[in-house]
Amino acid sequence: MKKALISLQIISVCLFASEFNPQMSQYITELKKEAQSVDKNFIDFDINRGEQIFTSKHIGKKGIEISCVSCHGLNLSEKGKNTATNKLIEPLSPQANPQRLTDVKDVQKWLRRNFQDVYVREGSAQEKGDVLYYIMSK
């Protein structure tokens, strides 16, 4: 039963990963290799871990409690608002905003910047992949 469940998870994750364009798929592959080099038991990224990373609150770089939700909101199909600048943020969900998660350099920049803002550190390869899978699921 356990083998069947793991096989089903792997199949569903492989199908999910195919939703990225070729450049983003390559970036996901690179993140997976990096995550596997750190944790030999790593299998794949996880939407639920991504949701926890995205929604959990931390004392951010400005010394106030913040999460990704603080700016992007819980509904990633709607616009968000930057808490520091009050600038509107276009929907993060690729289903609502097809330009999202298409440009690797842009994704890398924002992951780096947002992990610094919320976690006051660079995100790990596994954390980045988990968050990307979570965003893709919205």
Q: Give the pLDDT score at 8.
A: 40
- The pTM for the full model equals 0.86
pLDDT digits (tens, 9 = 90+) for 62-113: 999 999 999 999 999 999 999 999 999 999 999 999 999 999 999 999 999 9
Above 60 in pLDDT, residue 1? no
Helix locations, 18-103, DSSP H = 22-38, 47-55, 68-72
DSSP summary character for residue 117: H
Above 60 in pLDDT, residue 119? yes
Say if residues 51 and 58 touch (Cβ distance below 8 Å): no
Bridge partner list, 80? 89
Residue in 56, 60, 34 with CA at minimum distance from that of residue 121: 60
Q: Please give the domain boundaries of the chain with CATH numbers for all domains.
A: 2-136 (1.10.760.10)
